[in-house]
Amino acid sequence: MVPASRVIIVCVTIMLALVAWATPGCAAPPTSASSPEPAASPSTIVLGPGLVVDRIAREVRVEAEVACDRGWLEQAACKAGTREHESLLAIAVTPSRIHAAILLLGLEPGHPGEWKPAADGSDAVVRVAPSGAPLALAVRTASGEVPLSSWITDPVNGRAFPAQPWVFAGSRIRSNTKSMGPGEHYVADRTGSIVGLVTFGDEVIAYDEVLSDKVDVDAPEWQATTAVIPAPGTRVQLVIRPRAAGASR
């Protein structure tokens, strides 16, 4: 049986799509000068300011802002007002809407990764890898488009970040706390986890390796590639596509 929470998300997505199809003449919402968005056409679905699904190009375009260009990272993209100090991009669009946009590409979510101490009391850590449709993420700026991965590096060990290690994890649905009232909520809408690096367990899009957010479990690994990242505050687009079959991670 399909979980009720997934049914809710799919129903919301269908309603958004029907609205977009019913108003093909609407113009796209204003976007930044650095990454102009063309007017809506029969091939695009505008799901709100800063969020467009292009059915022909098979991509989701999300307006974003460079949050930080140096230092250790825990996320590649977060919701504005949450974890900008440790994230490359800050995004005003609600994470659940980004989830809905990816569904409109025909992609299936899986689940975020998780980690926990071994039950035997040892120092071992049990890690459960995230799952979901493989994705390719890029950043589009005024000077062109580059893989999001090119903004992430390990200068301490001289390692390159994998080219496209992303999966559509889909965050999680949880019952509301008593203070929130009845119902359920999409966890990433509250925590802001859009594209993860360390594993908080609530990411819309997850890095396919499980890295603890606790430094006594896993030492920090990934930093911002300062030399290639525009200044904080620069407007850009996060572009989300299905990863091509056979393409390397």
Tell me what pLDDT residue 41 has.
55
Output DSSP code: residue 82.
Answer: T
Residues in Cβ contact with 212 at an 8 Å cutoff, skipping those fewer than 6 apart:
115, 125, 198, 199, 218
Tell me what pLDDT residue 42 has.
64
Of 20, 52, 18, the residue nearest 35 (C-alpha): 52
The model scores a pTM over 0.85: no
Of 57, 26, 50, 47, the residue nearest 36 (C-alpha): 50
Rg (alpha carbons) of the chain, rounded to whole number: 18
> From the CB of residue 181, how many other CB atoms can be counted at a distance below 10 Å?
8
Tell me what pLDDT residue 199 has.
94
Domain definitions of the chain by residue range? 63-242
Tell me what pLDDT residue 108 has.
97
Q: Is the dihedral of CA 214, 78, 83, 157 positive or negative?
A: positive
Place of tokens 């005024």: 142
Tell me what pLDDT residue 33 has.
36
SS3 label, residue 243: coil
The CA–CA distances, whole Å, from 149 to 13, 109, 127, 138 equal: 29, 21, 23, 8
pLDDT tens over the chain, length 249 residues: 334 344 444 444 444 443 443 333 332 333 333 444 545 456 889 999 999 999 999 999 999 999 999 999 999 999 999 999 999 999 999 999 999 999 999 999 999 999 887 777 777 888 899 999 999 999 999 999 999 999 999 998 888 999 999 999 999 988 887 777 888 899 999 999 999 999 999 999 999 999 988 887 888 899 999 999 999 999 999 999 999 887 778
